[in-house]
Amino acid sequence: MIEIGRLSISSSEAVPFAREKLRAALVAAGIRQVAAGHAISLLSRDLRARAPLELVVLLEENNKEISLQIDASAGLIRRLILPAPLNERDIGTVSEILAFLTRDELLHDLERQVEQRTAELKKERERSERLLRNMLPDSIAARMKDNEVIADHHVASVLFIDIVGFTAFARDKSASDVVAILDRIFKAFDGVIKRHGLEKIKTIGDGYLAVAGLPHPQFDHADRAVLAGLDIVGLIPALREEIGCVVDVRVGIHSGDVLAGVIGVNKPFYDIWGDTVNVAARLEQTGTSGKVHISQEMRDKLGARFST
């Protein structure tokens, strides 16, 4: 048995082109028009149902029988007896017919490739947009899509959190254990930050940076930041019990002018700068474990709504 050709059928829309080509090939092999048409009609339903596929045309060893194979494993084979054995010239003619691409086929294949590539590009664009939205605030991602340079000034409240004792705890742990525990802690922080409407900026080792009052103004940014800090301190006892890790947190919060923008080309991220950020970091460093350390400016903003 030898293969004398195959037809690649990319979709159900391509079946008519394959049918006409196969009809011409069978007639060239000596099969009458009516018999060829009948054989192809029997194949059409399977071709449409199973596309995309390849239809293989085989010539039996005695050169007097053609097999049309869609799926040999499923028994989808049609055999046609030829009126006379095919000689080398006849075999060449049939092979050329099967291999020839008509203008309509070329146009259809080009349209199919364009549609496929368009779908791939759309899928990739959607994936890129999801990644961008996950890395950046939605409003910032939208501005970046419009090629806008992100460089803004805000009045905001910056919250720094450091996990006290985590470095010593992680020293004799495996990498997977350290990542798993840190991931659980930060997911808990993420929940608090989201609930109070803050914007998570980044994690730095076992440190966590968030801010209230940007990228959109919040008149109560100071309250939001302090409430988030208190909630994070409050969830530590339950986290200790859950992860079996004796850790605590220091929290520093300061309000004031903040610069915010997106930096970098590879792995761009939304970051904040300024004295307000530096003061919040120092407040965290000099704070007491299990406490929220705020500046006098923060204390003044809060007024009588919170007790020290």
- Output the pTM of the full model: 0.60
pLDDT digits (tens, 9 = 90+) for 23-75: 888 889 899 888 888 888 888 888 888 888 888 888 887 888 888 888 766 66
One-letter identity of residue 69 = Q
SS percent in the chain: helix, strand, coil, step 5: 50, 25, 20
Could you tell me which residues are beta bridge partners of residue 269? 263
pLDDT at residue number 104: 53
Catalytic, 220? Answer no
What is the DSSP code string of 101-133?
PPHHHHHHHHHHHHHHHHHHHHHHHHHHHHHHH
Tokens of 219: 């008149």
Catalytic, 163? Answer yes
Of these residues, 46, 90, 162, 223, which one is catalytic? 162
Mean pLDDT of the chain: 86
Of these residues, 70, 161, 163, 181, which one is catalytic? 163
pLDDT at 84 over 80: yes
pLDDT at 307 over 60: yes
Nearest to 198, CA basis, from 187, 186, 183, 214: 214
3-state secondary structure 56-91: EEEECCCCCEEEEEEEHHHCEEEEEECCCCCCHHHH
pLDDT at residue number 106: 53
Between residues 123 and 112, the one the model is more confident about: 123
Domains and CATH numbers, the chain: 2-100 (no CATH), 151-305 (3.30.70.1230)
Of these residues, 206, 223, 253, 272, which one is catalytic? 206
Between residues 116 and 93, the one the model is more confident about: 93
Catalytic, 146? Answer no
Q: Read off the pLDDT band of 189 (50, 70, 90).
A: very high
